[in-house]
Every structure is written in structure tokens, then in C-alpha cells.
Amino acid sequence: MTSKFLRSLPAAVVISLFVVMISASAQTTTANPKPATGLPSAPSSGAAASSAPTTIATGSGTRIGTINIEQAVINTNEGQRDFQALQKKLEPKQSELKSQNDELESLQKQLQNQGDKLNEDARATLVKQIETKKKSFDRSVQDAQEDAQNQQKEIFQRILQKMAPVIVKHAQDSGFAMIVDTSNPWPQSPILWYGEGGDITKAVVDLYNTQSGVPAPAPAGGAAKPAVPKPAAPKPTTPKPTTEQPK
């Protein structure tokens, strides 16, 4: 599964810059230290401005690697399974919205084609009906978008929470000092350029799939149809010189 499903929703999940600082022997200064994950905690919306900044452990390696967190989560077997299930779950609502939209378009077409033939009261009633249905439709679309976005975020955050230790361990074992997220292109992210040699996206996906034990889901919509070959362009022909003598 690709990110096509995510892109099909206007309120798609947007992943901010995700920086993983790796440490083989990180220490904390709290009274009850917890095992270092190497990942900064996401601040809650109600956090006080005076809260102490999260301590980020640095790695002992020298390499800087990259990972596309968005693609890593989506391309795991678990991500494919859960996003396909969500898409199936949302199909009834999409059908309902399509029916509402079709009805609204039908009324608008009726007003366009018959508006000048209707008396004042009939035309006003039709206009009012269209306005009421449009408001209802707009509210339904907004509610559906918010619901879909919230469910996508829940899936994404749940998988990412379990994927974080996999990223840290792989980065430690591979001698990375830092892993940066490349989900968003520059200038949306501060990463101007990076080479593919240090990208660990596929390696993390493979490791996560092995650890999760979730089998690869069947492709949605059946097997892909083979591409239809394009007809070859006709080759230009060079006229042969004639040997016939003019009479």
C-alpha cells in the first residue's frame, strides 16, 4: 500500500521533523531514571511554557542517516493492514456523502434548467432547499474528514510508538550518530539535500515486520493489471530511387 489513501483525504496526517539521537550509554539526571529510548517526547498541548526541555541523548557514532517516517509506517505489514481496514471502514460514509452530493447536484441542475420557468414561491422554495442541503452536506464532509484524520493519526502514532525502539537499535548497531526524518521535502523541512546511501527506511520496515510477526496483507483490489504497451511510432520510410527512364 502506498500513501495514496492518505493523500485522498484533505486532512491527511502530516509528520513534522522527526529527529532520533542515538546513545549507547545515555544517562538521565532524574531521581527515578527510565531506560533511554533516544527519542524526544512529543509535548502535550497543555504543557506549561516553563517546562524543562526534553533531554536528547546523542550517539557515539559518526554517521548521519535518514528515514522517511511516513513511508516506513505505511509500508509495514501492520500499517498496510490497518490502513486498508480503515479504508474499508470508511467506505459506507463515502457512499453516503456521494449520495448527498448527487442529490445536491440534481437540485442545482433543476434550478439552473427550470429556474426561469418557476413562479416566485416555487423558485424560493427550491433555493432554500438547496441551501439547507448544502449546509448539511458541508457539515457531513467536515465531520467525515475529522473522523478519518483522527483514526489515521491513531494508527500512525500507535505504529510509530512501537517502531521507535527499532529505529534506535538499528541506528546504534550501524554506527549512526543521528537519524533525521525526510518525510517532508525542503523547504517544509530544513533538510536541503541527502544521499540515498544513508537511508534506513527499508531496513527499519524489514526489522519491524520481523519483530511484529504481522504477515503481509493481500493486495487491495486484486492483482494489478499488466500495463498496456503503447503502439510503436511508425518508422519513416525513405523512397527508393527509380531506375525508370523518362519517355
What count of other Cβ atoms lies within 10 Å of the Cβ of residue 160?
A: 19
Half-sphere exposure (Cβ direction) of 125: Cα atoms closer than 13 Å: 5
Residue closest to 191 by CA, chosen among 202, 180, 201, 200: 180
Asked if the bond preceding 185 is cis, omega within 30° of 0, the reply is: no
At residue 93, the pLDDT reads: 95
At residue 74, the pLDDT reads: 96
At residue 117, the pLDDT reads: 85
pTM of the predicted protein model: 0.64
Q: Is 66 helix (H, G, I), strand (E, B) or coil?
A: strand
For residues 210 and 55, which has the higher predicted lDDT (pLDDT)? 210
63-67 and 19-21: which strand pairing?
Answer: unpaired
At residue 220, the pLDDT reads: 64
Whether the Cβ atoms of residue 40 and residue 54 lie closer than 8 Å to each other = yes
At residue 219, the pLDDT reads: 76
Q: Using one digit for the tens of pLDDT, what is the confidence trace for 143-187?
A: 999 999 999 999 999 999 999 999 999 999 999 999 999 999 888
At residue 189, the pLDDT reads: 85
At residue 196, the pLDDT reads: 82
Which one-letter amino acid corresponds to residue 104? L
At residue 241, the pLDDT reads: 47
Report domain extents, the chain: 4-26+54-212
Residue 21: φ, ψ to 5° = -100, 125
Which one-letter amino acid corresponds to residue 24? A
Average pLDDT in the 187-198 region? 85
Average pLDDT, the chain: 74
Q: Using one digit for the tens of pLDDT, what is the confidence trace for 12-68?
A: 333 333 333 333 333 333 334 333 334 433 333 333 333 344 444 455 667 899 999
For residues 22 and 118, which has the higher predicted lDDT (pLDDT)? 118
> 118 — alpha (psi -120 to 50), left (phi > 0) or beta?
beta
Asked if residue 235 has pLDDT above 50, the reply is no
Question: CA-CA distances (angstroms) from residue 2 to 16, 20, 155, 247?
Answer: 19, 24, 15, 72
Joined grid coordinates for residue 160: 510509530
Residue-wise over 40-54: b if at least 16 C-beta within 10 A, else e?
Answer: eeeeeeeeeeeeeee
Average pLDDT in the 129-134 region? 95
Q: How far apart are the first and last CA of the chain?
A: 73
